Chain A
Amino acid sequence: MSAVAERLTGGQRVALHYFAAAVVLFAAQTFFGIIAGLQFVTPELFYGVLDFSVNRMVHINAMVVWLLYGFIGSVYWLIEDEAGTELVGLKLARLNFWVLTAAVTVVVLVYLLVQVGAGTRLSIWLINEGREYIEAPRWADIGIVVCMLVFFYNVAATFMKGRWSGISGVLVLDLVGLAGIYLAGMFFTPNVSLDQHWWWWVIHLWVEATWEVLVGCIMAWGLMKTLGTSRRIVTTWLYIEVAMMLGSGILGLGHHYFWIGTPEYWLGIGGFFSALEPIPLVAMVVHAVYDSGRHGFKSTNHPALAWFIAHAFGNFFGAGVWGFMQTLPQINLYTHGTQWTSSHGHLAFFGAYVTINVAMIYMALQKWRGDVWMSGDLPDRGFKWKWSLALTNLGMLGMTVALLIAGYQQSFLERAVGGSTWGAFFAAQLDPWFVQAMVWRNVFGMVFTLGVMLLIWDFVTIGRGERRPMRAAAQSA
C-alpha cells in the first residue's frame, strides 16, 4: 500500500475504488442482459421469478450507474494532475463512494427481491419509480443528488484551489448541468405526457449533451497523456465539440417530442437539430485519428489508445449514424418503440461511453502497477487486451445488426402493415426473420460476454511483473 500511496495521488486512490465498482456493475449489466435476451426466444425462462421487466431494469440501471462510476472515477483520476494541487476533500470523496455504493446495493437488492409494489406513492419512494432508466426509488434519487453535489464541490473547489484550464472550465460547468438536470425527473404526475416531457430532459440532456461533453473532457486529457498532443489543440477541439454538440443536442431533444402529446412544431425542430447531431461526432473521429497518426501511433498505453479510438468510431456510428437513421419524424413514426431503438441504444452506449471508461481504466492500471510499459510488445503479445477488444466490439456490432434487422422487420410488419395493434405486435414477434434476428442477438451477446470476461482478466493481470518503465510521452508539437 505504501508504494502505491507514493505513486498515486489521493484522488487516484479514490478513483480506483470507483473503477473497481464500475467493473463489477459492468459484469452485472452483461449478465442480466444475457438473461433478458434469452427471454425473447425462451419466454418461460425464469417466468414469475425473474421476469423480463426485472432483468431489463437491472440491465439498464447497472449500465447508467457503472458509466457514472466510470466518469466519476475518471475525473478523480485526472483532477489533481489537471489542477496541479491535491484534492480538497479526500475523506469526503471516500465517504461519498461508500455511501453511494451502499445505496446502489440496497436499490439493486430491492429490485431483485421486492420487484414491484402496490399502486401507492410509498412504492415509488421505496421500491421502484417505474420510469425507464431512472427507476431508482425517490429516496435513492435524493441520495444520488447529494452524492453528485459532494462530487461537484470536490471538483470545483480543487480547481479553485489549484489552477484552471480550458478542460477544467468546461468540466465544472458541465457537472452543474449533469447534477441539475437530474432534478427534472424527480416528481410524480398522473399526466403521462408531462411525465415523459421532463423525463426526456433527464435522459436526453444527460446522454446526448452533458455526458458527451464530459467524455469530451476526458478524451482531451487522455489524448494529451497517451499521445502527447498539445494542450492548445485539444482545448480548441473541446470548444469546437461543445459548440457543435450543444448547438445540435440541446434542441435535438425535440426528437423525443414527436409522439408524446407535445406540440407539432417539435417535428420540425427535433428533426432538424437532431439530424445535425452526428457532425461533432465526425469531428471527434477526425481529431482522434489525425492525432494518433501524427504521432505514428507511438503511445504510452496501447490498450488505452485503442479504446480511445474505439470510442471515437463507436460514438460516431452508435450515437451518430444509428441515431440519424431514425431521427427524422417521417421514419421515426414507424421505428419509434421498436428494436431499432434497442439497436441504436446498444451501439451508442457502448461506443460512446463504455469504450472511454475502459480506456481510462487501462490508464489507471498502468500507473497503479508502477508506471509500467504498456506500449507494443507486451507479454503473450498482449492477446488478452487485443482479443477482449475484438470480441466485445464484434459482439456488440453483431447484436446491433441483429437488432436492426429485427427492427426493420417490426417497422414493416407491425407498424406499417399491421397498424401497431397487439395482434400486429405479436405477428411481427413470431415472424421467422424476427426470431432469427433474436437468436443471432443472443449468439453475439455470448461473444460479447466472452470479451468482457477476457477484459476483466486483463484488468486483473496486465502490467503485473512488468519491469520496463512506461514509454515517455511524445513532446507536444
Chain B
Amino acid sequence: MSIRDALAAGLGFRDLALIDAHAHVGRWGSFYMADPSLIQLVRELDRFNIELCCVTSLLAFSVDMPRGNDEVLEAIRFAPDRFLGYVSLVPHQPLADCRREVQRMLDASDRIIGLKFHPMWNNYPINGDLYQPLWELAAEFCPLVLVHCWLGGEEPEANNTPDKVAQMAARYPGVTVIMGHSGGSRAGQLQCAELCRRRPNLYMDLCGSEFGNLWIERLLEHAPADKVLFATDIPFLGAGSPAGRVGYAAIDDAIKRKILRVNMERILATCTRWGRDRFRSSTPLTRHGLTSTANQPALQMGTHHDNPDQ
C-alpha cells in the first residue's frame, strides 16, 4: 500500500518512522498556544509516527538563553527516546557565555546535536561579525546548525536571507547547515532550492513553508530531494500540515521516505556522535533501499501520474 493510500485509509505512517528536523519547546508571547506541554508534544509525535524530534527552545533565543536551553534538556529527560536538542545561541550574548553554554549542554546530554541561530528574532545578520565566532563554535563542537531563514514578507529580510545563510555554509564547509522554513516565501524556497543544489552542506526544511503557496510537487521540480527535510515547527504549528503536504503529495514514495526520514537520518549519522552510534549499522540510504540523487533534479515528474496539474 502506498504512503498516500495508507494515510487516506487512516493507517498513518505505519511503515515509516519520521524524523522532525525543526521543532521547539516552550511558548510564544504574541499568540495563544493551546497547551504546548511536553505531554502534548509527545502525543503529537505519536499521532504522526514521528520517532525523533529535534527541538530548540523558544525562550533561549528570546530573552533567556540558559533557562531556555535547560528546557531542551528537560524535554530530553522527559522523553529520552524521542527528543534531540539544538543549543540556541544569541549573538548579543558574550562569546564566553555562548561557549560555556555549548559545553554545558554537550556535557549534559549526548542527544544535543547542533546549534540553532535565529537572526530574525535576534535582529542581527547571520553573516555578521557577532555570529562569526558562533559559527566557529559549531565547527569546533557540533557541526550541525539550524538557521531561521526567510526571504521577504514581514520579516527584516536582510538578516536571514538564503544567500546569507549559504554564504556562511560556504565559509564553513565542514558544518551542515539547515535553512529553516526553506526561506519561507515562494521566492525564498526557490532560492534555497538553487543554493542546496550548489552547496553540498546546505539543506532546507519544510516547516512553515506552506505559507509560500508552493506545493511540494512544484518545489521538488527545483529542489534536490536529498536536501529537503521534514519539519513541523511544533508547537508553533501542528505536525499535520507538513505531514499531509508530503504524505499526500503526488510524488514517489521513495522521495517521500527521503524527506520524511532518510535525509535527516543521514545528517544525524554524519554530523553527530549520537547519530553515528545510533545509525552505524548501515548507511541510511541502503537501509531504506534508496539511492542518492544529491544535487540532482528531484523528480521525474512524468512518473507522477495522479497529479491533475500535469
Partners in one complex: no
Residues of A within 8 A of B (CB): none
Residues of B within 8 A of A (CB): none
